[in-house]
């Protein structure tokens, strides 16, 4: 008997504190596919789904619904969410009405939020459950930066997250998710699921799964637990802390074979271990001037990590907080900084290469974090802003900064993009013709991937204590929801772990 499985994706990470609203254009710029167009995807999470469903000895027929992916940003607009949700639901509804719906397999992020739904994935899974009923299994794959909510647990059968950060295993996670669906439908798995949440809100600087850092140790424990016969799957989470939602935290999610008590106990164990790592997850930070002074005293290239303005965490990428200190070094010290500024990029395209023009730079897309800086700049390069990702979740896919420009002011090369893009391995600088090896200071606006991008030319990385919607520490973020008690504000708590089941 053939099993009919509906497949879809809604992948975006959102930020409650800033960034540019994620509208339908944001999805169309990255990925917005419907129906049979999905079936052409052979990479990423959906590629992993199709690999399993097409190659299995069991007969599966795929019902492609919708795949909507956007660069991380501000909240998904209600209009965009309504359209994506209704498209997905109407595809599911017609499959259900044709009695051709045996399972729903969704690639989600887990930290998306719409203007009117701070738990977007919980809302979506609830709507899907409501439509398909209790007996059709729902399996969702997630980013390990997901914010797991009771609603997500209530309305899914299996949740499985990526295991790597930097993220390299979207496809492998797709394989795991589709296998879970196949195992449920063929009677090999009766999943029981629990999530242990430790109230730890930290940036991702020390959240690598490579090496032996605090989150790598947590992931290692989760994977050791997964190797037991009684356990089907485990996931470890370091929650994206730039949502403003109640009861956030990281920890462990465990799926057992029909044994809720064991799932609870093991999820608690991972979350307790993660709680013990909390102090090791807060990075050492530098003020801008301090970092530049130390950097000048150091031979070689220095990377200034301005994670507070990380497009990959939903920020607009338009901060110029570091720029005055770089300009003050004069023309003899070369440095490079990325700034998203559509107006400035457009003015450069109008002026042409070689032109000198007065620009007001930065803080225009998300003006809460600073004021534009007036500069007299010379245009040294212009491009259409397109580039190809070399690795990671978007390996081989095109990134699109929109019309882009490089301007030079004193010794600083300022890379202007029209739209924010996720940073993987320095592709944006390369596409704009920047030779980072010639720079004294490189500004990197991400909390993790800067190492991959620049370790070939620098061994000196300093994380800056700047303000923005994706800061290195969450201490000063203006949360309005009930996020406390939580680390770092409440470092000692009795019974900190909360169990969702
Ligand atoms: Zn992530």
Does pTM top 0.85 for this prediction? yes
Ligand 1 center from residue 192 Cα (angstroms): 25
Task: Measure 312 CA to ligand 1 centroid, in angstroms.
Answer: 8
134-146 tens-digit pLDDT: 999 999 999 999 9
Cα of 111 to ligand 1 centre, how many Å? Answer: 9
Q: Calculate mean pLDDT across residues 406-410.
A: 98
Three-state DSSP state, 129: helix
Mean pLDDT of 320-337: 98
E strand residue ranges, 348-468: 356-361, 373-383, 386-388, 398-400, 404-409, 412-417, 441-444, 460-463
* Ligand 1: centre distance to CA 60 (Å): 30
CB 292 within 8 A of CB 323: no
In this predicted structure, what is the pLDDT of residue 411?
97
Query: Residue 161 forms beta bridges with which residues?
Result: 142
Q: What is the pLDDT of residue 394?
A: 84
- Whether 64 has a pLDDT exceeding 90, the answer reads yes
Task: Convert the pLDDT of each residue in 417-470 to its tens digit.
Answer: 999 999 999 999 999 999 999 999 999 999 999 999 999 999 999 999 999 999
- C-alpha 167 to ligand 1 mean position (Å): 7
Ligand 1 center–CA 168 separation, angstroms: 10
Confidence of residue 392 (pLDDT cuts 50, 70, 90): confident
Task: Give 145 Cα–ligand 1 centroid separation in angstroms.
Answer: 5
Average pLDDT estimate for 172-193: 97
pLDDT band at 410 (very low <50, low <70, confident <90, very high): very high
CA angle (306, 307, 309) in 5-degree steps: 85
Q: What count of other Cβ atoms lies within 10 Å of the Cβ of residue 123?
A: 21
Q: What is the pLDDT of residue 481?
A: 96
Residue 184: its pLDDT value, please? Answer: 97
Give me the pLDDT at residue 232, please.
Answer: 98
CA distance 45 to 54: 14
- Domains and their CATH numbers in the chain: 1-189 (3.40.50), 190-283+485-501 (3.30.70), 288-463 (no CATH)
188: number of Cβ within 10 Å: 12
Q: What are phi and psi of 256, to 5 degrees?
A: -110, 170
pLDDT above 90: residue 251: yes
In 24-76, which residue ranges form alpha helices assigned H by DSSP? Answer: 24-30, 44-55
* Whether residue 49 has pLDDT greater than 90: yes
pLDDT score of 393 more than 90: no
DSSP state of 336: E
pLDDT of 58 higher than 80: no
Residue 478 CA to ligand 1 center (angstroms) comes to 22
**What is the pLDDT, as a whole number, of residue 31?**
93
The pLDDT of residue 99: 86
Host H or E run for residue 454: helix 450-454
CA distances from 36 to 26, 64, 484 (A): 22, 6, 45
Q: Mean pLDDT, the chain, as a whole number?
A: 96
Q: Each residue of 23-32: pLDDT tens digit?
A: 999 999 999 9
**pLDDT for 414:** 98
Query: pLDDT per residue over 271-285, tens digit each?
Result: 999 999 999 999 999
């Amino acid at each position: 008997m053939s099993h009919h499985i509906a497949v879809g994706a809604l992948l975006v990470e959102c930020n409650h504190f800033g960034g540019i609203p994620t509208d339908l254009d944001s999805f169309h710029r990255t990925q917005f596919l419907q129906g049979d167009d999905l079936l052409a995807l052979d990479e990423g999470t959906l590629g992993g789904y199709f690999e399993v469903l097409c190659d299995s000895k069991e007969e599966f027929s795929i019902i492609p619904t919708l795949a909507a992916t956007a660069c991380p940003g501000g909240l998904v607009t209600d209009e965009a969410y309504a359209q994506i949700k209704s498209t997905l639901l109407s595809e599911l509804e017609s499959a259900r009405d044709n009695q051709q719906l045996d399972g729903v397999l969704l690639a989600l992020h887990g930290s998306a939020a719409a203007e009117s739904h701070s738990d977007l994935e919980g809302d979506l899974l609830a709507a899907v459950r409501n439509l398909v009923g209790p007996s059709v299994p729902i399996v969702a794959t997630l980013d390990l930066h997901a914010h797991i909510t009771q609603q997500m647990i209530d309305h899914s059968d299996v949740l499985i997250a990526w295991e790597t950060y930097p993220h390299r295993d979207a496809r492998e996670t797709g394989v795991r998710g589709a296998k879970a669906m196949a195992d449920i439908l063929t009677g090999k798995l009766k999943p029981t699921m629990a999530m242990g949440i430790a109230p730890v809100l930290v940036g991702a600087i020390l959240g690598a799964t490579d090496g032996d850092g605090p989150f790598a140790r947590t992931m290692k424990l989760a994977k050791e637990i997964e190797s037991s016969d009684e356990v089907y799957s485990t996931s470890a989470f370091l929650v994206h802390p730039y949502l403003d939602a109640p009861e956030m935290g990281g920890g462990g999610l465990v799926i057992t074979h029909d044994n809720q008590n064991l799932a609870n106990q093991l999820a608690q164990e991972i979350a307790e271990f993660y709680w013990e790592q909390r102090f090791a997850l807060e990075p050492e930070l530098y003020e801008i001037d301090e970092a530049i002074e130390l950097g000048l005293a150091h031979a070689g290239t220095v990377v200034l990590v301005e994670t507070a303005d990380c497009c990959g965490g939903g920020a607009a990428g338009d901060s110029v907080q570091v720029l005055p200190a770089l300009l003050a070094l004069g023309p003899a010290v070369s440095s490079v900084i990325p700034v998203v500024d559509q107006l400035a990029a457009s003015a450069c395209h109008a002026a042409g290469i070689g032109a000198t023009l007065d620009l007001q730079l930065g803080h225009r897309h998300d003006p809460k974090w600073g004021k534009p800086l007036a500069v007299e700049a010379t245009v040294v390069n212009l491009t259409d802003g397109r580039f190809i990702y070399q690795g990671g979740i978007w390996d081989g896919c095109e990134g699109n900064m929109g019309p882009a420009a490089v301007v030079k002011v004193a010794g600083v090369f300022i890379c202007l993009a029209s739209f924010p893009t996720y940073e993987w391995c320095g592709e944006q600088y390369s596409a704009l013709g920047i030779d980072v090896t010639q720079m004294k200071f490189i500004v990197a606006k991400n909390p993790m991937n800067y190492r991959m991008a620049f370790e070939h030319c620098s061994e000196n990385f300093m994380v800056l204590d700047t303000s923005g919607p994706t800061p290195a520490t969450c201490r000063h973020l203006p949360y309005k929801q009930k996020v406390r008690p939580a680390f770092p504000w409440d470092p000692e708590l009795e019974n900190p772990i909360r169990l969702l089941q």
